[in-house]
Structure 1
Amino acid sequence: MKFRLMKLFILPLSIAIMASGCGNMDDNAPEQEKADEAIEVDKGIETEGGGNQTVTVELKNTDGATVGTAVVEAENEGVKISLRADHLTPGVHGFHIHEKGICESPDFKSAGGHFNPTDKKHGFDHEAGPHAGDMPNITVKEGGTVEEEIVNEFVTLEKGKENTLFSDEGTALIIHSKADDYISQPAGNAGDRIVCGVISDPK
């Protein structure tokens, strides 16, 4: 989405520059300012309502060391989470949003259970699920790195909504030691919590 929007802005800007090539450079200032402003909005820095709709989450392991980041960004269809991390155990891991923005090592139990404002059962394969905080498993490569992009359609960054990630207690991203089986209660038998990051309201 971001790439397509930028392409739309580049074309009219190029036409404007060609049309005024023999004029004063100052004549291009209004067009350039408009293009720059449009790109800033596309980055998710600020919405029309004036609220910050992008937040970068610092991810830490059980030793308190930073192992990556997750950029959480508002989308029309929900919230996009762009995950980049390293120094992880290769394999498939559960990846969830938890109900409290507290990451106390070494077990991260302070983050509470899965984010579940609508009181669903856990798992995409459960007839009464999933939790709003349930997300697809992630795969860590042999070198210990992971880079994935997930869109969660069950949550929002809009304040005041029942399913907002900017709740009073905050929320957190958790990576588990094992894969989520998508049906076992209450957390998909995903094992220990090995990475945690607080989703903070930038205000």
Structure 2
Amino acid sequence: MKKSILFALLLTLSFAIGCKKEKKENTPEETKTEEKVVETVNEEVKKIKIKLEPKSDSNVSGNAVFTETEGKVTMVAVFDGLTPGTHAIHLHEKADCSSADGKSTGGHWNPTSEPHGKWGDAKGYHKGDIGNMEADANGNATITFSTDQWCIGCGDSNKEIIGKAIIVHQGVDDFTTQPTGDAGGRVSCGGIIE
């Protein structure tokens, strides 16, 4: 009789623990956590790497990486062969670096027909008006730029950077002279092509 009671007690305890575990496995909090993990794992990351070549008899070359995540594009570009000091960098209309002076890329990329200016200025700016970067005493420069006003492969003509070019200029962008910022010659070029 003691064995029967002990067996019944163990069976009841096992059943209660099993039900408690089953209930815990189906709590809404854990289900939400699992959904977040799935969303993060499935997040799409788009990336384009390009090389920039010297133009206008310069020695300026470089590399740039464009990465899009969560609706924002980040550009990280590294250059060498620059003269020490400040240099303008812009996105231009066409990914055509075929001319010796880089002018085959056309003007600044400006799909919204704004005046040239400093990025984010209320007076207006081109979507290609990245700004200026500093080259050190050895002619090396690095720039990082992020925006939600660009996209990679989205097809929106006001945001799409594929088919554009990066141009590094000899001089400084003054952010006021129209339509170029008086930045001088084009010393390096790279087409943004998939």
Q: TM-score, length-normalised on structure 2? A: 0.71
Equivalent-residue separation in structure 2 for 1:99 and 1:85 (angstroms) = 21
Q: Give the secondary-structure state (helix, strand or coil) at the position aligned to 1:110.
A: helix
**Contact 2:97/2:189, CA 8 A, preserved across alignment:** yes
* Equivalent pairs, count: 153
> What SS does the corresponding residue of 2:131 show, helix, strand or coil?
coil
- Of the candidates 161, 167, 177, which is equivalent to residue 165 of structure 1? 161
Alignment of 1:21-170 (within 5 A): 48=44, 53-62=46-55, 63=57, 67-76=61-70, 78-124=72-118, 127-162=122-157, 163-166=159-162, 170=163
Measured on the aligned residues, the alpha-carbon RMSD in Å equals 2.5
Distance 1:153 1:139 in 2: 24
The letter of the residue matching 2:143 is: E
| Aligned-partner residue type, residue 68 of structure 1 | G
Match for 2:118: what amino acid?
F
Provide the rounded CA distance (Å) in 2 between the counterparts of 1:181 and 1:64. Answer: 22
Cα deviation 1:115-173 (Å, max 9, x = unaligned): 1111111012865410001012011111111122111342211422122112xxx1000
In structure 2, list runs of 5 or more residues that go unmatched.
1-36
Higher gyration radius (CA): 2
Contact 1:58 1:66 in 2 (8 A): no
In structure 1, the gaps of 5 or more residues are 1-33, 42-46
What amino acid sits opposite 1:88 in the alignment? L
Counterpart code for 1:191 = G
What is the alpha-carbon distance in structure 2 between the residues aligned to residue 137 and residue 180 of structure 1?
6
Letter in 2 for 1:115: W
Q: Distance in 1 between matches of 2:74 and 2:127?
A: 14
User: Which one-letter code corresponds to 2:84 in the other structure?
Assistant: P
> Once the 2 structures are TM-superposed, how far is the Cα of residue 65 of structure 1 from its aligned partner?
6.6
Question: Structure 2 counterpart of 1:150, which letter?
Answer: F
Match of 1:178 in 2: 171
Judging changes above 3 Å, is the alpha-carbon distance between structure 1 residues 176 and 148 closer, same or farther for their aligned structure 2 residues? same
The code of the aligned residue for 2:154 comes to K
Give the secondary structure class of the aligned counterpart of 2:104.
helix
Between 1:57-66 and 1:90-99, the stretch displaced more is: 57-66
Whole-Å separation in 1 of the counterparts to 2:110 and 2:180? 11
Partner SS for 1:94: strand
